[in-house]
Amino acid sequence: MSSIADESMVEDVVGAKLENAIASLQEQISALKSQRQLQTAAILSSHATKATLRRLKESQKQSTFERDVPTDANPLLTASKNQLLHNQQNLYRACGTITTFKIRDPDPNAVDNGDVLGIRIDVSTTGKFIKPYYVMLNKPFADSQLLRIHRHTLPPYIPLAHFAEKYLPTGKGVSAMSAKKVAGGKRQDLRLFMRALRREVVAYHNRIAVIKSLRREFKLDEKASRKGKDRERVIADISAADAEAKQIRIEWVDGKVGRCVVDDKGNVIKCVIMGEVGRDREIERAVVGRIEGIGERLKEGIY
C-alpha cells in the first residue's frame, strides 16, 4: 500500500513539475508570438519594405515566367496590403476620431437583412486613447432610409436620446438624409448627430481630466506628507458632483464648501461658495471663468 502511495506521490510531483514547465513554455510561446506580430507589423509598415514590395509587384506584373517571382510572394503581398489598410484605419481613427464600419447582426430576424452601421468614436484623454465608444444604427423601416439607433455603448450620462431625438427623428414626415428636404418636415442628419455626440463625449472627458488635474494640483490624491515643508493644504477635496461632471464640488479645509456649474464649452458659469459666515464672493468671482484655470486662480487668492 505504502509503495503505491509513494509512487502516486512521486507521480504527482513529477506531474506538477511537468505542468509548470508546460505552462512556462506556453507563456514563452505567446510572448514570442506577440513579439513576432509586432515585428511583422513594424517591418510591413516600414518604408523600405514598401519599396521592396512595390518592386516585387512590378516584377510580378512584368514577368511572364512564374519562376521569377518567389512562391511565397502572394501571402506576403496580402499581408502587406492588410497591414497598410490597418494602418490607414488607425490613422483615420486617431485623427478623424469618428470612423464607420459594417456589422452583420447575427439575429436571423434582424431588420434590413442584418445590415448594421457601426460608428466608432475614439477619444483620447490625458495623452491616451481610451476605449472607443460605439453607436450601431440600422434601418428598421421598410421602403425608407431612415436610421435608428440599434445598439450603443454610451453611458447614460451622455445624452444620446436627446441627440437622437434632435438629429435622427423617426416620426412622421421625417425624410432620410439622402432624400431632399421636404418643406416643413424634419430631416435626419447623421453628420450633425455624430458631431454633437462626439462633442459631448469629448467635453465630458475633458471635464473629468480637468478635475483630475485639479486634484493633482492641490495634491489631493497623495498621502499627506508629514514633513511640514509643504505649503499648508487649503483645499480638502475637489470632485465631480454629478454624473455628467458638469458640477464641481470644492471643499476647503476651513469648512467652506463650493459648488460650481460648468457649461458645455468648459466655462464655469456659476459658482456658490458657502463659508461659516455666508457666501465668499471673492473666491466665487475667482472661480468663474475657464475650467482649466480654476486651480491657478484659486492659488492666486490663497498664496
Where do contacts with another protein occur on this chain (CB under 8 A)?
34, 37-38, 40-42, 44-45, 79, 82-83, 86-87, 89-91, 93-94, 105-113, 118, 122, 129, 131-134, 136, 138, 140-143, 148-157, 159-162, 164-166, 241-244, 246-247
Q: How many CB atoms lie within 10 A of CB 172?
A: 7
- Smallest distance, another protein to C-beta of residue 128, A: 8
- The distance of closest approach from Cβ of residue 121 to another protein in the complex, given in angstroms and rounded to an integer, is 11
Q: Report CA-CA distances (Å) from 219 to 62, 185, 284.
A: 67, 54, 21
Q: Which is nearer to another protein, 192 or 241 (CB)?
A: 241
Q: What minimum distance in Å lies between the beta carbon of 4 and another protein?
A: 33
Find the shortest distance in angstroms from Cβ 151 to another protein: 5
With respect to another protein, which residue has the nearer C-beta, 110 or 302?
Answer: 110
Cell numbers that stand for 303 in this block? 498664496
What is the C-alpha separation between 163 and 188, in angstroms, rounded? Answer: 11
| Nearest distance from C-beta of residue 98 to another protein, angstroms | 12
Distances (CA, A) of 262 to 244, 268, 274, 277: 10, 4, 18, 25
**Residue placing its CB nearer to another protein in the complex, 54 or 86:** 86
- Residues 268 and 288 sit within 8 Å (Cβ to Cβ): yes
Please, which residue, 83 or 213, has the CB nearer to another protein? 83
Whichever of 41 and 179 has its CB closer to another protein, that residue is 41
Least Cβ distance, residue 204 to another protein (angstroms)? 11
- Choose between 155 and 185: whose C-beta lies nearer to another protein: 155
Locate 123 and state its grid cell.
Answer: 477619444
Q: Cα separations (Å) of 82 from 49, 87, 154?
A: 14, 8, 30
Report in angstroms how near the CB of residue 247 gets to another protein at its nearest. Answer: 8
Give me the least distance between CB of 120 and another protein, in Å please.
9
Residue with cell 513576432: 36
Pick between residue 57 and residue 166 the one whose CB is nearest to another protein: 166
Cβ nearer to another protein, comparing 70 with 155: 155
The residues near 128 (Cβ < 8 Å, ≥ 6 apart) are none
